[in-house]
Amino acid sequence: MKNEVLDVSGMRALPLDLDSAISFMLYIRFLEQRVAEEKTLKSTFYQTILDHFYGNHLPQGDVPLGEAHQYSDFFEYVYSSLSAPLASEHKLAWGMCMPLYPNIFYGTDLLFDMLNIQSAEATFELQKRPEDYQRERLHLIYTLILQRLYNFQVPVKIEQYHAWTDTETGLFRYYEVLVSPEFVEVSAKVPLPELNFVEIYAHFSEKDGHLQLQKVLPLDMFRFRGFAVVSVSDVTARMAVENIKKVQFNRVRGDSPNRYQRIIQSLKTLVQNNRIEFDLFPFVRVNGQAVYGYGQAGTGVLFQIWGENRLTPEEFRRQAEGYAAKPNSFFSPDIQGDDEQQIGWLTPFRNLNVRSLALVPLFFEDKLVGVLCMHTWENERFDEKKLASLEMAFAPVAQLLNIYIEEFNLELESIIKEKFTSIQPAVQWKFNEAAWHYLHRRKKGLPEVNENIAFFDVFPLYGAIDIRNSTSERNAAIRADLGHYLQTLDELLKALDGLDRSSLMQELRFHCTKWQQTLNQGDLSSTSENNLNVFLNEEARNYLLHLSQQDARTTPLVNEYLRMTHSAQGEVHRHREALDRSMECINTAVNSYFEDQKEALQQSYPCYFEKFRTDGIEYDIYIGQSIAPDRPFSHFHLKNLRLWQLSSMIEVAKLTRGLLDGMPKELHTTQLIFVHNHMIDISFRSDERKFDVEGAYNIRYQMIKKRIDKVRIRHSQERLTQPDKIALIYLHHRDIEDYLPFIHYLQETNALEPVIEELELEDLQGLSGLRALRLGIAY
């Protein structure tokens, strides 16, 4: 045992003015109570301590820290009464310190040896800053005050962690320091104030809550007497695992090498052998198939054996999938032994001078995420006991490997999003492949090349559901609202006539009348409409706001006008608002229908389905062998899609017709299909983030789509597209041969009316010879 003073804070404690002193009396009263209550032989021991205390006339008042060394015999009794009876003094780190001061004055040799490590041999990475230490110290002080004087319980556990380098292994060892204030007596020097315990409890959860507590309960109000008990325990294994867990929470993007180095160092600390090496090999997949990972963790021995320097992607995939199918653990203290020489797959490890070897498959949520390799070089060996000591680290390391896999996948996705676009499942495989090739070249330091993503010889299908006369309906709604707006303003100006006769008011009335005349004459161009909006929303509005502030009599009238003309809820916008709600009603219903159908279409054969939002909904569908190379494509898949195209147009027409009763503004839809019976090529355009057609002939298909939405019947002013009808536009009769049997089928099942209109269409710019079928929908 040692009886000397040691600052357990490592000289990090900030000055704190406390009325604190060593005292034995709380401990003595505790013993007297135990003597009265105890019925076993312990009572005799406790009485012996009391006899020693009173018989030697030990001080019943304060004991100066500098005089504590005089009472070593008494401290022996304290140690014996508070430590485990069979614990060896040489294996127990135990001591006594001043109340609420980090000064140990008595303890076991082991305690002093552990805490008296010189800074040259220690690391203080776990130690807190002086400010943090002071905050926790004040937290303990106020916890004691509230517990002892107010009977207000706040959970508190004061602990410190010390780490230093073991001179034998060169690895950290970690120790936890616990301070028990059981024999610290707290008393008040002045009457105690009443407290709001709801606020007090809140202060304990605040970072600087102790500053508020110091205002309510200054420390000079209290006296602290007694001693605290300090105990230290080895928590190296627990801290090593905790450090691994911290890596996953404190990871920084792009810091993978340092992150894994910290993991490896923690694993070495866990086994307490710096000559045992570790390596991690994550299992990453692209399109469900194993590919190389790039985050080397540890020695890299697994990457040397299973990586691209030794195996082709196909060989790696075959070996990785074979191991994933039966992921067994392996351990050998010496793979150079005679028995191990018969195991062929160990040869690459032997060629690298590996001696002891353990391979442990790691799982996260029952999914294989990688392999942990534990090995030694040349003559160094380890046994199964070292391997067993790693067991508590398997779960956090597996979680880290899973994070690596998620980050790998996110990196692929980010490349897809950066270089490409949001991708549908039918073509996701192509983008995954291109992104992996891009990532592979970047990791290898090769020039980055944007791979062309294209699908050749696919059949296109195009459809459009348009809102009938949407442009004219919108123009009519705008004019109706502007007329209402001007009428509301005119009525307000007339009401203000007797209250404001200024020249500005006269000018405002003049322009209001002029705009009304322009609107009634129907001469409102786009430029005039913009000027009118400026007049209403800026000039007139700003003057009326000014007027309401200058003359309180005008305020009620102006406020009512502002309410009616509010940009969101104002009555003067009711026509546009009704139109917008009706259009949104249609588009939401149609969009939802196609979203549901898109998933169902993939079940027959994968296809690319892209929707566009205009005044209605347009879509492009591409289907063909190149979309899904691993699935045979036949013409029946195309015919199935064409039948769906006709049937879906009927369903959409019925769907939108059923919405009429709930629409603020009655709107109808038209249904259009453009039939192109020839295969085209499409490729992804990085600049527009979408697929587009390739080649001069294929571009003509795109041009036709953009010009047929308002096409008229030849020699008439009648639009081809009409409500309650489906229009099929084509160039040659052979183009619609697939559709004709489906049309007859739908007529016989009373989904379509029996009459088919065969129509010739007007010539468009650069287009002639367009024809159409128009089908009536049977309700």
Q: Please report which confidence band the pLDDT of residue 567 belongs to, taking 50, 70 and 90 as the band edges.
A: confident
Residue 27 burial (10 A CB sphere; 0-12, 13-18, 19+): buried
**pLDDT reported for residue 121:** 44
**pLDDT reported for residue 110:** 85
**pLDDT reported for residue 350:** 93
Task: Of 133, 95, 87, give the one whose Cα is nearest residue 114.
Answer: 95
**pLDDT reported for residue 119:** 37
**414-460 confidence digits (pLDDT tens):** 777 656 665 677 887 888 888 888 888 888 888 877 778 888 999 99
Kindly report the number of other CB atoms within 10 A of residue 310's CB atom: 12
Tokens representing 624 are: 């063909």
DSSP structure class, residue 720: S
**pLDDT reported for residue 620:** 92
CA-CA distance, 324 to 327, in Å (whole number)? 5
**pLDDT mean over 51-79:** 95
State yes or no: pLDDT of 618 exceeds 80. yes
The mean of the pLDDT values for the chain is 87
Tokens representing 373 are: 């390799």
Tokens representing 283 are: 């299992």
The answer to whether the CB of 305 falls within 8 A of the CB of 296 is no
Rounded to whole angstroms, the maximal C-alpha distance in the chain is 129
**575-598 confidence digits (pLDDT tens):** 999 999 999 999 999 999 998 898
Handedness of CA 126, 16, 156, 183 (dihedral sign): positive
**88-104 confidence digits (pLDDT tens):** 888 788 999 999 888 89
The answer to whether the CB of 159 falls within 8 A of the CB of 166 is no
Tokens representing 332 are: 């050998």
Give me the helices (H) in 733-773, please.
739-748
**466-521 confidence digits (pLDDT tens):** 999 898 899 899 999 999 999 999 999 999 988 888 999 999 999 999 999 999 88
| pLDDT: which is higher, 162 or 500 | 500
**pLDDT reported for residue 157:** 54
**626-678 confidence digits (pLDDT tens):** 999 989 999 999 999 999 999 999 999 999 999 999 999 999 999 999 999 88
Kindly report the number of other CB atoms within 10 A of residue 761's CB atom: 19
Residue 1 burial (10 A CB sphere; 0-12, 13-18, 19+): middle
**pLDDT reported for residue 323:** 86
Task: Of 643, 622, 644, give the one whose Cα is nearest residue 633.
Answer: 622
**pLDDT mean over 740-758:** 96
Domains in the chain with CATH codes = 6-234 (no CATH), 238-419 (3.30.450.40), 473-573 (no CATH), 578-777 (no CATH)
Instruction: Indicate the range of 26-30, 391-395, 408-412, 544-548 predicted with least confidence.
Output: 408-412
Q: Please report which confidence band the pLDDT of residue 87 belongs to, taking 50, 70 and 90 as the band edges.
A: confident
Handedness of CA 604, 608, 613, 616 (dihedral sign): negative
Beta-bridged to residue 723, according to DSSP, are 670
Q: Please report which confidence band the pLDDT of residue 123 belongs to, taking 50, 70 and 90 as the band edges.
A: very low
The answer to whether the CB of 419 falls within 8 A of the CB of 450 is yes
**pLDDT reported for residue 124:** 40
Query: Cβ contacts of residue 650 below 8 Å, gap of 6+?
Result: 726, 746, 751, 752, 777
Q: Are strands 725-730 and 669-674 parallel, antiparallel or unpaired?
A: parallel
**Angle subtended by helix axes 425-443 and 391-419, to nearest 10:** 100
Query: Cβ contacts of residue 18 below 8 Å, gap of 6+?
Result: 100, 101, 141, 219, 224
Query: Cβ contacts of residue 292 below 8 Å, gap of 6+?
Result: 284, 307, 308, 313, 316, 440
| pLDDT: which is higher, 206 or 774 | 774
State yes or no: pLDDT of 140 exceeds 50. yes
Q: Please report which confidence band the pLDDT of residue 296 belongs to, taking 50, 70 and 90 as the band edges.
A: low
Task: Of 458, 463, 421, give the one whose Cα is nearest residue 628.
Answer: 458
**pLDDT reported for residue 777:** 96
The answer to whether the CB of 747 falls within 8 A of the CB of 754 is yes
**pLDDT mean over 19-37:** 95
